[in-house]
Amino acid sequence: MKLWLQGRGITYRSLAGQMHQSAGTISKKVNKQLMWTENDLVFLSGRFGLSADFILGLKHPRVGEGGELLD
């Protein structure tokens, strides 16, 4: 998630605003200090087309320089 966000120029603060959470909470979720919730997964899937396994770090697809998923 971290590389994907960076590649798209999406900051934790901007994602947090979209998800109605704090930037600190998003940072902890991206860095696996907190678990993503079901609502988070639904939001990220609907908004960005991301799969739950990608968000949860269970699948490690290749990410291009522009942040696009290559797999």
Residue 11 has pLDDT above 70, yes or no: yes
pLDDT tens profile 32-47? 999 999 999 999 999 9
- Say which DSSP state 68 is in: -
Q: What value does the mean pLDDT of the chain take?
A: 89
Q: The pTM is what?
A: 0.80
Q: Which amino acid makes up residue 70?
A: L
The alpha carbon torsion through 21, 19, 42, 47 (nearest 10 deg) reads -160
Q: Give pLDDT, residue 58.
A: 83
